[in-house]
Chain A
């Protein structure tokens, strides 16, 4: 085993592979930063270039792109509240408030080190899991996926304290949006109004761009000024401080990485859920959860660690069985096939050196991208000082173009505009966009897997309790619902007892 790991690593050190790794890293960083593009588009564009290359060089290129995209995306998420890719939207929640406080450098520094550390921890986890990859993939079937989706929804909705009703409303709205489109379990079109575009449902990336980027730009335009309120702090870059912050919160990093690794291995649930779940669980575990959403550095560290960890584990179902965990993985599959490597049970046997080379490439790119991000922190943070009059038109045009670029469909731009309006309303009236997004992502997964589970079990709900993994998930979900209620009830009783005693004493 060790010698194959080593061969994989040494293969990367060859000049061709190394060159393509670095090229891929820069491409990934750039594509990740521009909203709407991202790893999927980058890989799709690079596939023809890889055609004549040796498989190892092609994999180095792919690993370079995939490892760097999250870092690129986090930069725009933090500085402009515009997630470069869907999973980066979680970093907007605290990263952008930090930028507004003039601490953009701090946030990017923390994001960079979280990226690097998360990637490394993710790699270690994947290396440990690969020998049992097949068994892992076989454990998770429709009942488990359904319960995971429900768990994800419960996690994010129970963490919005004091705003339970608004979160539930946002989540319900997200679910409503999620069910638009063609259902491929029942073969029925819902709310498509005969429109081909809506056949695929509400397209996630354009919706996210609208909800976060456009909404924020509207908000900024109404407010005026610039992103950062405090120009003094921007000059005093907290880069090193940001890096160190991550080491102060290693628990958050490890938790985020583990969540990323586990969620990433489940096909179809993906990076967005991994990052939002990591954010929510960190908020719940925190001593002052109310500081989240206002510039708590942990709110940047948690999701960014998760995103990079998920990159490695997404390879597990992709390589073990040829089941792509995300659109990016689907393109990557195509790249593998183009180079004569058929993903499937044989892949893990016949192409071990290449696979480990890929994993090394992913990790190396992740760390390198973090360094490059750190180097660019100073000039990048200056963006937050730009006046709204300059910033808004640029961001809106780039965001709209990015939205169009996702599917080359003008309807995407219309969707982005509409979601932008909705997002602005949500900012104004303090509704959680996080819950809406998670509901939008998890809704289809939950529904499809529920119906499949019912078909498998002939309509019996016992299927959710028969298998050990689903039983475990069920118990976790129930306890997450019950625990806060119990805590609130006990707290109230203590207060009553306390005031009763003091009342009697006075």
Chain B
């Protein structure tokens, strides 16, 4: 056996020391310059789903505005109705190499159902929203007898109003519950439809009296004349002839919004948060992104940089207030 010479010992010690220190070195990215490698953008939906296109359009734009040239790679994690994606995001290392898209208030309902073993929304790092959130509108079939909210109230006196919706874990379900409470309607929800297009078509077909959907989703249907709006929950209606939350006298309706948040795992360092917020902010105003939004008909209003915390506080307060109604 060869003797353990001093030189060999020093080499071994150096190697051991290096392996202990090296991981800490890689965490010190802000000194080296974040980002140093590709960033994963988790989408808790299947490909082609609601949030999917947003992320896929934003990602290449964000890449342009990061300090270093890296790729942002969208990763679909649809399992568990989106719960697994959120759980994966929550448990990832807060090093800026994993971010995720979160649909609120749907995520709150999911959290209630899955328990806080999986993820805790209040602990996550909230970056920004992707453009402004959207309010809802009540949509009816073109030949429906329902013209406005008064008709709905009158009908509600005779029998429960049928709304078509996706499942209880979704945002439209929560929106219907809260809106019914505010408007004072007796409603019955026909749930389980497979997406907003599915339940809008259900309303046209006559399965239900009405449904709620965002104006972006409804644009194509409205322009083709296949649906009509009974009311819009906007503070000021963007469609002539359709009553809005203010004219109905219930401005609270405009607080029912769906927001598209970008989030990171709990404990993300501030400087990395700044870099990401700047990239998102500039991406949202990028001409390619804006023209895409226009082509597809999304209402695209860039918001203040890094508005994640403010929006989430409002959303959390909203959910807390209406929790018992939504979960009933």
Cβ contact within 8 Å between A196 and B295: no
Q: Which of A142, A199, A340, A342 contacts B79 (CB 8 A)?
A: A199
> In the docked arrangement, what's the CA distance between A137 and B297, Å?
23
A349 in the interface, Cβ–Cβ < 8 Å? yes
Q: Closest approach, in angstroms, between the C-beta of A68 and any C-beta of chain B?
A: 19
Q: Is A96 an interface residue (CB 8 A)?
A: no
| A344 engages B220 (CB within 8 Å) | yes
Indicate if B292 sits at the interface (CB-CB under 8 A): yes
Enumerate A333-387 residues with CB–CB distance to B below 8 Å. 333-335, 337-338, 340-347, 349
Q: Is B166 an interface residue (CB 8 A)?
A: yes
- Output the nearest chain A residue to B84 by Cβ-Cβ distance: A196
| Bound complex: CA A199 to CA B44 (Å) | 14
Inter-subunit contact B195/A342 (CB<8 Å): no
From A340, which residue of chain B is reached at the shortest CB distance? Answer: B295
Which residues of the other chain, B, contact A40 by a CB distance below 8 angstroms? Answer: 47
Task: Please tell me if the beta carbons of B47 and A342 are within 8 angstroms of each other in the complex.
Answer: no
> Which residues of B are found within 8 Å of A187, using beta-carbon distances?
113, 167-169, 191
A345 CA to B204 CA, complexed, in Å: 12
How far, in whole Å, are A467 and B137 apart by their CA atoms in the complex?
Answer: 30
Selected contact of B169 from candidates A137, A184, A409, CB within 8 Å: A184
Chain B: interface residue count, which band? 35 or more
Question: Does B4 sit within 8 A of A, measured CB to CB?
Answer: no
With both beta carbons as reference points, the residue of chain A lying nearest to B59 in the complex is identified as A48
Task: Verify A47–B192 contact, CB threshold 8 A.
Answer: no
B14 in the interface (beta carbon within 8 A): no
Least distance between B167 CB and chain A CB atoms (Å): 3
Task: For A141, list chain B residues within 8 Å (CB).
Answer: 202, 205, 207
Closest A residue to B46 by CB, please name it. Answer: A330
Who on chain A is nearest to B202 by CB?
A: A141
A472 in the interface (beta carbon within 8 A): no
Whether A408 sits at the interface, judged by CB under 8 Å, is yes
A451–B53 CB distance below 8 A: no
Q: Which residues of A contact B118 (CB under 8 A)?
A: 196
Does B21 make an interface contact (CB < 8 A)?
Answer: no
Contacts of B295 in A (CB 8 A): 340, 342
Q: In the complex the two chains form, is A332's CB within 8 Å of B190's CB?
A: no
List A contacts of B204 (CB < 8 A): 138
The proximity string for A residues 24-62 relative to B, scoring 1 for CB distances below 8 Å and 0 otherwise, is: 000000000000000010011001100100000000000
Q: In the assembled complex, which residues on chain A have CB atoms less than 8 Å from the CB atom of B53?
A: 334, 337-338
**Chain B positions within 8 Å of A345 at CB level:** 220-221, 223-224, 226
**Contact in complex: A334, B191 (CB < 8 Å):** no
Is the pair A342, B296 in contact by a Cβ cutoff of 8 Å? yes
What A residues does B47 contact at CB under 8 A?
Answer: 40, 43-44, 47, 330-331, 334
Name which of A138, A189, A197, A329 has the most chain B CB atoms within 10 A of its CB: A138
Interface flag for A13 (CB, 8 Å):
no
Chain B residues, CB < 8 A from A407: 77-79
B49 within 8 A of A: yes
Q: Are B219 and A196 in contact, with the CB atoms below 8 A?
A: no
Q: Which of B118, B166, B194 has the most CB of A within 10 A?
A: B194
Q: Is B188 an interface residue (CB 8 A)?
A: yes
Separation of A199 and B77 alpha carbons in the complex (Å): 13
Q: Which residues of B contact A47 (CB under 8 A)?
A: 47, 56
A481 contacts partner chain B, Cβ-Cβ < 8 Å: no
Known: A182-B169, A338-B53. Contact between A456 and B208, CB under 8 A? yes
Contact partner of A138 among B49, B205, B224, CB < 8 A? B205
Cα–Cα distance between A341 and B190 once the two chains are bound (Å): 29
Q: How far is the CA of A343 from the CA of B317 in the complex (A)?
A: 35
Tell whether B304 is near chain A: CB-to-CB under 8 Å: no
**Residues 97 to 130 of chain B near chain A (Cβ within 8 Å):** 113-115, 118
Please tell me if the beta carbons of A409 and B79 are within 8 angstroms of each other in the complex. yes
Contact check, A197 vs B191: say whether CB atoms are below 8 A apart.
no
Question: What 0/1 readout, one digit per residue, does chain A (302-340) give for beta carbons within 8 Å of chain B?
Answer: 000000000000000000011110010111111101101
- Roughly how many angstroms separate A268 CA and B197 CA in the complex, as a whole number? 14
B217 to chain A, nearest CB (A): 9
Residue of A nearest to B195 (CB): A323
- B46-62 residues with Cβ-Cβ distance < 8 A to A are 46-49, 52-53, 56-57, 60
A182 to B193, CA, bound (A): 14
Query: B83 an interface residue at 8 Å Cβ cutoff?
Result: yes
B216 nearest in chain A by CB position: A342
A187 to B169, CA, bound (A): 7
Given A185-B192, A323-B201, verify A200-B81 contact (CB < 8 Å): yes
* Residue among A196, A332, A344 making CB contact with B48, cutoff 8 Å: A332
Minimum C-beta distance from B105 to chain A (A) = 16
- State whether the Cβ of A448 lies closer than 8 Å to any Cβ in chain B: yes
Closest residue on chain A to residue B56 by CB atoms: A338
From A343, A345, A409, residue with most partner B Cβ within 10 Å: A345
Which chain A residues (107-142) contact chain B, with CB distance < 8 Å?
A: 134, 137-138, 141-142
Q: Which residues of A contact B200 (CB under 8 A)?
A: 321
Q: How far is the CA of A478 from the CA of B47 in the complex (A)?
A: 39
- A349/B224 in contact, CB under 8 A: yes
Q: Is A267 an interface residue (CB 8 A)?
A: yes
B67 within 8 A of A: no
Within 8 A of A (CB), among B73-105: 74, 76-81, 83-84, 87
How far, in Å, is B153 (CB) from chain A's closest CB? 20
Complex alpha-carbon distance, A252 and B47, angstroms: 35
Complex CA gap A332/B212 in Å reads 25
Q: Is the CB of A321 within 8 A of B207?
A: no
Chain B contacts for A134, CB-based, 8 A: 226
* Interface contact A199-B80, CB-CB below 8 Å: yes
**A323 pairs with B80, CB closer than 8 A:** no
Q: How far is the CB of A476 from chain B (nearest CB, A)?
A: 22
- Distance between Cα atoms of A344 and B81 in the complex (Å): 24
A284 at the interface (CB under 8 A from B): no
Q: Is the CB of B77 within 8 A of A342?
A: no
- A196 near B80: Cβ-Cβ < 8 Å: yes
Whether the pair A330, B79 counts as a contact (CB closer than 8 A) is: no
Give chain B interface residues in 201-233, CB to chain A under 8 Å: 201-202, 204-205, 207-208, 219-221, 223-224, 226
Q: Which of A43, A183, A184, A330 contacts B49 (CB 8 A)?
A: A330
Known: A40-B47, A196-B87, A330-B46. A323 touches B197 (CB 8 A): yes
Given contacts A344-B197, A345-B224, 9 further A-B contacts (CB under 8 A): A183-B192, A199-B80, A199-B83, A200-B78, A267-B194, A334-B47, A334-B53, A342-B295, A409-B84
Query: What are 15 A-B contacts with C-beta separation under 8 Å?
Result: A141-B202, A182-B167, A187-B167, A196-B84, A199-B81, A322-B195, A323-B194, A330-B48, A333-B48, A337-B48, A337-B53, A338-B53, A340-B292, A341-B296, A407-B79
Give A contacts to B, CB under 8 Å: 40, 43-44, 47-48, 51, 134, 137-138, 141-142, 182-187, 189, 194, 196-197, 199-200, 267-268, 321-324, 327, 329-335, 337-338, 340-347, 349, 407-409, 448, 451-452, 455-456
Q: Which 8 A-B pairs have the closest CB atoms?
A: A184-B167, A344-B220, A334-B48, A345-B224, A187-B168, A340-B295, A185-B192, A330-B48
